[in-house]
Structure 1
């Protein structure tokens, strides 16, 4: 039964995502950005255009380490990003396993939030202002990892703020979608790189840190994080762009059969059958309760005659 329900839900999610690709303009734009990004990666000179966005994702990765370190009672000493797109966060104290996991999973969560925020063009400018401000704050307080790191983080934060102040609403929304695509894409590909590094026996990585703390091989952690990241991104897309439920569709009274009035449920026969059975059971219970109430109700005139 659980397997059947999971399969039905997976079909529903796939159907909703396909509907979003066909009908949601924002999803179509993100898909186009994704395709162009993959093409640019194969072109030597065009790849330089994506370099600042890769450094942005590295900054997000290290910021997630720093955030969890602070939330778990630790102290952050330094955030550093390198020209090869790698990064380093030095911290003391805190819950070390959570801090190590926060980099890759936190980036995936942040990418999911960007996808969700991307559905709201009117809020794009405010979101960009918040992101730019946070990056500048991280640069001032923790950006002591060398000239390249400090200048890069400063330019990234200031650049995002500049776009939020100078660009029009449409351009702000487009830039936010660009950040969303690059963050989600790199969060998955970085885990792929981590997996290959774990296979090759790299000694310095978040997965290797988890191996030293838990005894579980680094390759297992990289696979687990990759699966979780894909689930997070799929869920964020589905929640953000699934078709909205339509009450009262198909001539059904939503007050009587609320479970089968949603548009997404109508697309799946298994869920539809379950909703119909549940609704019929509720109707039977309500009918039985009403009959019982009529049986025990005494007519006032008959009560006077008895007296």
Structure 2
């Protein structure tokens, strides 16, 4: 079993035809458009994982992560209530999906679809340790088991579809929550990450939203260049 896992992670799979990449991108766009609650739940998992990872990296004490049925989530940590570490942790949530999407695109462009799938299983397993509510536990466990089953048992074509869908979904969906925040009123933005960043830095929440949105759109462009460079030459 260990030998097979190591072989999967270190091996390369054939990079699919451009038409396959484009079709999975269109399928992901359809999911972002018509199955948004489910996509947003997955995005929230990555969002909170981003908070948790950066909290640990900047020396904060991670208390736990909660995921809720309304697709919201919260990451609790202890440490200084202000300063660069707190700012980095708050900003990481909305940056995490695009960052992971770019990493996924880089792996797929190098023929590493199985490495991507097993990497996701590892990330979900690490996140599972920090989940502090039943709903979140079920969501992360189901996601991890589902991806693991695809990586272990599925046909190579199904594995490729899953890997490319994950990459496209992360890249295409990442800007949408920020666009929704941008169109929301100040009252609805209260308590959001940009609102907390505004209180810490005295930079308006709207400006934070625009900066984070620009970073996500830049990630989308980089991801498309890696996944489907032929689209830029037509």
- Per the alignment, residue 253 of structure 1 pairs with none
Task: Write out per-residue CA displacement over residues 175-198 of structure 1, whole angstroms, 9 at most, x where no aligned residue.
Answer: 011111221222110111222335
CA gap 1:166/1:124 in 2 versus in 1, 3 angstroms = same
Displacement after TM superposition at 1:64 (Å): 0.6
Q: CA RMSD for the aligned pairs?
A: 2.3
- Are 1:116 and 1:237, in contact at CA under 8 Å, matched by a contact in 2? no
Match of 1:143 among 121, 128, 131: 131
Displacement after TM superposition at 1:35 (Å): 4.1
1:75 pairs with 2:61: yes
**Relative contact order: is structure 1 or structure 2 higher (C-alpha 8 Å, sep ≥ 6)?**
2
1:111 pairs with 2:101: yes
> Which runs of structure 2 are paired with 1:153-302 in the superposition (5 Å)?
153-197=140-184, 199-242=186-229
CA gap 1:133/1:93 in 2 versus in 1, 3 angstroms = same
> Which runs of structure 2 are paired with 1:20-39 in the superposition (5 Å)?
24-38=18-32
Question: Aligned with 2:190: secondary structure?
Answer: coil
CA gap 1:71/1:198 in 2 versus in 1, 3 angstroms = farther
Pick the structure with greater CA Rg.
1
Structure 2: where are the runs of 5+ without partners? 1-16
Displacement after TM superposition at 1:199 (Å): 4.0
Q: How many residues end up aligned between the 2 structures?
A: 212
1:62 pairs with 2:48: yes
- Are 1:53 and 1:179, in contact at CA under 8 Å, matched by a contact in 2? no
Q: TM-score, normalised on structure 2? A: 0.82
Q: In structure 1, how many angstroms separate the alpha carbons of the residues matched to 2:138 and 2:226?
A: 37
Displacement after TM superposition at 1:148 (Å): 0.8
- Are 1:199 and 1:219, in contact at CA under 8 Å, matched by a contact in 2? no
Q: In structure 2, how many angstroms separate the alpha carbons of the residues matched to 1:201 and 1:85?
A: 16
Runs of 4+ in 1 over 6 A off after TM superposition: none
Q: In structure 2, how many angstroms separate the alpha carbons of the residues matched to 1:142 and 1:198?
A: 32
Q: In structure 1, how many angstroms separate the alpha carbons of the residues matched to 2:29 and 2:222?
A: 21
